[in-house]
């Protein structure tokens, strides 16, 4: 019998969810920017920085907070309030904590199989009308 990944919220600490959420946001970012057309990896990496820094993630939080369900908001707050031994280098402590909350939420959405909701929140948080 094959082992699979099963999601039980009590099995994951907020910072573990944030670890997965960081990777999931990176994946959503890469899929989005590659959709703009073929370009060099260097250009892709430069563009990705618009999405994955603590400052940009904190700004995305501001845009999606009103859209979160009570359950999603609770998960976000668990991540935001989690104690980390990591000190931010290029962001304020507030931006860093908000970014951790966002990553926690996206990790939770990933493990919950709520990929459509993750994509919706990613688009609302990052994709602005031009």
In the residue annotation, 22 being an active-site residue is answered as yes
Q: Which of 126, 103, 108 is nearest to 22 (CA)?
A: 103
| 130 residues of the chain, pLDDT tens digit each | 345 666 666 678 999 999 999 999 999 999 998 887 777 888 888 888 888 889 999 999 999 999 999 999 999 999 999 987 776 778 888 999 999 999 999 999 999 899 999 999 999 999 875 3
3-state helix, strand, coil in the chain (%, to 5): 70, 0, 30
Q: Report the C-alpha gap between 87 and 29 in whole angstroms.
A: 24
Q: Which domains does the chain have, with CATH numbers?
A: 12-126 (1.10.1520.10)
Q: Which of 22, 36, 70, 95 is catalytic?
A: 22
What is the pTM (predicted TM-score) of this model? 0.88
């Amino acid at each position: 019998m094959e082992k699979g990944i099963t999601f039980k919220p009590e099995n994951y600490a907020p910072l573990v969810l944030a670890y997965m959420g960081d990777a999931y946001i990176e994946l959503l970012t890469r899929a989005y920017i590659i959709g703009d057309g073929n370009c060099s990896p260097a250009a892709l990496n430069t563009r990705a920085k618009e999405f994955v820094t603590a400052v940009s993630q904190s700004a995305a939080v501001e845009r999606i907070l009103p859209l979160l369900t009570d359950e999603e908001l609770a998960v976000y707050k668990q991540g935001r309030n989690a104690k980390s031994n990591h000190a931010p280098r290029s962001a304020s402590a507030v931006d860093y904590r908000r970014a951790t909350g966002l990553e926690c939420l996206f990790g939770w959405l990933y493990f919950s199989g709520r990929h459509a909701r993750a994509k919706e929140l990613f688009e609302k948080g990052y994709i602005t009308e031009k």
